[in-house]
Structure 1
Amino acid sequence: MNPTKPVENRREQILREAARLFAERGFHGVGVDEIGAAVGISGPGLYRHFPGKDAMLAELLVGISDRLLAAGRMRVAETPDPLRALDALIRGHIDFAIDDRPLITLHDRELDRLRESDRKLVRQLQRQYVEEWVGVVRRVYPGATELEVRAAVHAVFGLLNSTPHLGGQGAEPDRAAMAALLHRLALSALEALEGGPAGLRPWTADRTGG
């Protein structure tokens, strides 16, 4: 056990297993009893933590959108150099895309199941996250138009969020190698923009950051 890793509480365990099961079999293909069994409690026992599956789905999708935005803002605020800020944004999103693949699948398949207020909140948080990226990319590539920058940012998201489609033959991709590949792909998409430096270094498979 890693002593530096915080112990996962019961709610986090429930959400993690719910995300995995929802992604594998669909929201309506999973019962409360199955989620409970996955974390070692009775199905009815889940109601001490969540009023139902709808609440779990909302917390998963709103929660990850909120965390991505908060982490993105923190990276930009802590890194005044735009090149380093952009690199930090890319690396942070790669970590999400590799480690939280079920949430990407859930967003793609199940977002419309949220009640309207939660769905609007997810979209609002996502727009704000995009704006963090756009602001940094425009500083790095001042010769690009705003439309070009937005297109590039969304292209990067599409590349990085492709991870749920990997490992479909039963073999999990090597994490370090996949992170390096995604980093190179993201840089390639951004380097199509005009007016920027060639200062971002590709993330090789033996690099974990820095």
Structure 2
Amino acid sequence: MSTKTAAAKTGEAAPTRREQILREAARLFAERGFHGVGVDEIGAAVGISGPGLYRHFAGKDAMLAELLVGISERLHDGGRMRLEESTAAGLPPEQALDALIHGHIDFALDDRALITLHDRELDRLKEAERKRVRKLQRQYVELWVGAVREVYPDLTELEARVSVHTVFGLLNSTPHLGGPSTLPDRATTAALLHRLARGALSAAAPSGPLPRD
């Protein structure tokens, strides 16, 4: 089944050529390392010649930068949007925090290659790009810190920040969990990760409320 046909069956828009290239580049970089993958291999994965990639990207460095800066932007912007929507809807702090957790779990399950790529290849970015990633990551952490302290007001800002980084470490462990055959179905895995994340935050502030599942 073609990508276009599969997308039509699920009601999703078919990925653009750039999106296809980035997805396959992320997979290959994660599997073999940045220097272990050639432009020709990435092109073959999406059905075009290696030189044809240069109509979309200046080279592998540009792909890596778009992948790592792009996912940092997506996480930050998505987290901010979830908090703004929760506030506009008048939802309690527990549900706002849950929205952040669910959003990060989607990333952790659907973009495991990008987690591996970030851990291994971030230092390959140009300084300006690396600084952009770090800035977005700090801003994303602060979104979480504010949401956590709304639910657990007894936590100091430092304690909340440490707790958030700990939860990120937990959720971002998904690349080490093996392939789909070694995991429960997606819904079961997501629910387990959600319970673990909330349990870790609750343990950091035992006197605070435990959000309802």
Q: TM-score category by the smaller chain?
A: over 0.9
- Mapping of residues 1-210 of structure 1, within 5 Å: 1=6, 2-80=9-87, 81-167=92-178, 171-173=181-183, 174-194=185-205, 195-201=207-213
Give 1:177's aligned amino acid. Answer: T
Calculate the TM-score normalised by the size of structure 1.
0.92
Deviation at 1:42, TM superposition (A): 0.1
CA contact (8 A) 1:21 1:35 kept: yes
Give 1:142's aligned amino acid. Answer: P
Give the distance between the partners of 2:22 and 2:73, measured in 1 at CA. 15
Question: Which has more helix, going by share of residues?
Answer: 2
Give the distance between the partners of 1:129 and 1:40, measured in 2 at CA. 36
Q: Deviations over 1:106-129 (max 9, x none)?
A: 000000000000000000000000
CA contact (8 A) 2:198 2:211 kept: no
Aligned residues: 200
Q: Deviations over 1:55-105 (max 9, x none)?
A: 000000000000000100000000022111100000000000000000000
Give the distance between the partners of 1:114 and 1:53, measured in 2 at CA. 11
CA contact (8 A) 2:76 2:137 kept: yes
Give the distance between the partners of 1:137 and 1:163, measured in 2 at CA. 23
CA RMSD across the alignment: 1.2
Deviation at 1:199, TM superposition (A): 2.7
Q: Which runs of 5+ in 1 are unaligned?
A: 202-210
Deviation at 1:146, TM superposition (A): 1.1
Give 1:10's aligned amino acid. Answer: R
Q: Identity rate of aligned residues, in percent?
A: 73
Calculate the TM-score normalised by the size of structure 2.
0.91
